[in-house]
Amino acid sequence: MGGYGGTDLLKAASAGIRAPSLHNSQPWRFRLADGTIEVLADTSRQLQVADSGGWAMRLACGAATYNARLALAVISRPADVVLAPDSHQPDLIARLTPGPPRPATYPERNLFAAIARRHSHRAPFWPDPVPADVRVRLLDAARSEHAWLELLVGMTALTGFSEIAHSADRVLRRDLHYQAEMITWTDADSAADGVPSLADATVTEPQDLLPQRAFNDRRRAAGRDYEPEPLVGILGVAADRRYDQILAGQALQKVLLTATDAGLSASMISQPIEVPSAREQLRRSLRRSGYPQLALRLGYGQAGRLTPRRDVSEALVPVAARLP
Ligand SMILES: Cc1cc2nc3c(=O)[nH]c(=O)nc-3n(C[C@H](O)[C@H](O)[C@H](O)COP(=O)(O)O)c2cc1C
């Protein structure tokens, strides 16, 4: 069997663009190159203030790569994947080459089906605890993609995380350039990117354990408090190079899809990763080797709505016209 073709590219990219990204910036592109599918970082969509180093862009592209892998697996054309294959092309995130054809496994089918349902869920969850077997599935999902997920157990660990997250949030709120950039990505309900005002974000109330992004100035209805003991997971990987951040993105997406498949909702919290001193504090508090890459809040919530995406055609790199 030959390389991938245009139809495979479209399937992979259509799944890829459903990945999460900081402020829904969608910093990815997909290219067909000699029968391989390449995932590229779109630096024109990189957040210049919040993500000057490109960490969030690479996480998003890693997550898009994981979705593309699933899309190719479910059409029985699973990919051999090389991450960051060319040191001379730093924007080249992954190259997917057809591996031996085989039918998709049940887990691959279930995770692929979850792509269309997964979305960030920022509203309060019900207080029901996440059962042990589901927690194990989440831990396994991270591990199978070369990452770790630290689930914070007990109020002491949660309060410690809460303090770090709130102090990072305060630093970012004081940064006028940061806030100005965020505003350009929020509240545009008609846009195909950015965070819509309807994405159930509300302002942080004094009793909230975790900080919310100031995406809008809406307040929660009285009595609609957050779950008192949320399940918070910190996703991390062994190091913090470009390659590791792509790995983290793939693992992030596998954890999120596993959560969706298990009926869980999730939101992402990155303030304590974006502020270097907070990230270092978080890293030390976890007492494990490696680097935290993102925090997740997981639980049972009412299904919300999907966040829009640009049309897939906008994320495809046109095949270069061949010379005769
Ligand atoms: C690296 C990264 C950091 C993120 N940080 C936050 C955050 O701090 N707060 C938040 O509410 N959402 C955060 N998100 C979620 C994005 O806002 C969300 O993925 C995007 O708006 C698309 O929406 P969706 O997840 O519903 O598809 C983050 C996502 C990524 C990939």
Per-residue pLDDT tens over the stretch 109-158: 999 999 999 999 999 999 999 999 999 999 999 999 999 999 999 999 99
Per-residue pLDDT tens over the stretch 252-284: 999 999 999 999 999 999 999 999 999 999 999
Tell me: pLDDT of 1 over 70.
no
Q: How many structural domains compose the chain? A: 2
> CATH number of the domain that 90 lies in?
3.40.109.10
- Report the first-to-last Cα separation within the chain, whole angstroms: 26
Q: What is the C-alpha to C-alpha distance for residues 143 and 248, in angstroms, rounded to an integer?
A: 11
Q: Which residues contact 164 (CB under 8 A, 6 or more apart)?
A: 272, 278, 281, 282, 285
- What's the confidence (pLDDT) of residue 19? 98
Residues 17 and 75 in one domain: yes
Q: Please choose from 22, 171, 218, 305 the residue to mutate so as to test ligand 1's pocket, defined by most ligand atoms within 8 A of CB.
A: 22
Residues 288 and 184 in one domain: yes
Per-residue pLDDT tens over the stretch 20-74: 999 999 999 999 999 999 999 999 999 999 999 999 999 999 999 999 999 999 9
Q: Which tokens hold the place of 102?
A: 């085989």
Residues 67 and 182 in one domain: no
Nearest residue to 254 via CA among 97, 73, 100, 125? 73
- What's the confidence (pLDDT) of residue 320? 65
Tell me: pLDDT of 303 over 90.
no
Residues 165 and 229 in one domain: yes
Q: Look at residues 83, 118, 153 and tell me which one is the last residue of a structural domain.
A: 118
268 CA → ligand 1 middle, Å: 6
Concatenated DSSP letters of 264-307: -EEEEE-HHHHSHHHHHHHHHHHTSSSEEEEEEEEE------PP
Q: Which tokens hold the place of 232?
A: 């918070």
- What's the confidence (pLDDT) of residue 256? 98
Residues 182 and 294 in one domain: yes
Residues 156 and 203 in one domain: yes
Identity of residue 274 = E
Within-domain flag for 309: no
The three-state secondary structure class of 319 is: coil
Within-domain flag for 159: yes
Which residue minimizes the CA distance to atom 13 of ligand 1?
268
Residues 158, 282: contact at Cβ < 8 Å? no
Within-domain flag for 235: yes
Q: Which residues line ligand 1 (CB under 6 A)?
A: 20-24, 56, 59-60, 119-120, 122, 195, 213, 267-271, 294, 307
Residues 165 and 292 in one domain: yes
Tell me: pLDDT of 297 over 50.
yes
Q: What is the C-alpha to C-alpha distance for residues 98 and 116, in angstroms, rounded to an integer?
A: 24
- What's the confidence (pLDDT) of residue 323? 43
Among residues of the chain, what percentage have pLDDT more than 70? 96
Residues 247 and 147 in one domain: yes
Average pLDDT over residues 287-298: 96
Q: Which domain holds residue 158?
A: 132-299
Confidence of residue 302 (pLDDT cuts 50, 70, 90): confident
Q: Which of 4-8, 167-171, 220-224 has the lowest mean pLDDT?
A: 220-224
Residues 175 and 72 in one domain: no
Count the residues in the chain: 324
Residues 142 and 76 in one domain: no
Within-domain flag for 208: yes
Per-residue pLDDT tens over the stretch 195-251: 987 666 778 888 889 998 877 777 887 777 888 899 999 999 999 999 999 999 999
Q: What is the C-alpha to C-alpha distance for residues 70 and 110, in angstroms, rounded to an integer?
A: 10
Nearest residue to 265 via CA among 136, 128, 80? 128
Q: How many CB atoms lie within 10 A of CB 204?
A: 18
Q: How many CB atoms lie within 10 A of CB 285?
A: 17
Residues 169 and 272 in one domain: yes
Within-domain flag for 271: yes
Q: Please choose from 18, 172, 270, 305 the residue to mutate so as to test ligand 1's pocket, defined by most ligand atoms within 8 A of CB.
A: 270
Within-domain flag for 314: no
Q: Please choose from 18, 21, 215, 291 the residue to mutate so as to test ligand 1's pocket, defined by most ligand atoms within 8 A of CB.
A: 21
Closest atom, ligand 1, to C-alpha of 201: 11
**Taking the CA atoms of the chain, what radius of gyration do you get in angstroms?**
19
Rounded to the nearest 10 degrees, the angle between the axes of helix 242-261 and helix 106-115 is 90
Residues 175, 47: contact at Cβ < 8 Å? no
- What's the confidence (pLDDT) of residue 214? 75
Within-domain flag for 126: no
16 CA → ligand 1 middle, Å: 15
Within-domain flag for 306: no
Q: What is the C-alpha to C-alpha distance for residues 125 and 143, in angstroms, rounded to an integer?
A: 26
- What's the confidence (pLDDT) of residue 187? 66
- What's the confidence (pLDDT) of residue 264? 98
Residues 145 and 269 in one domain: yes
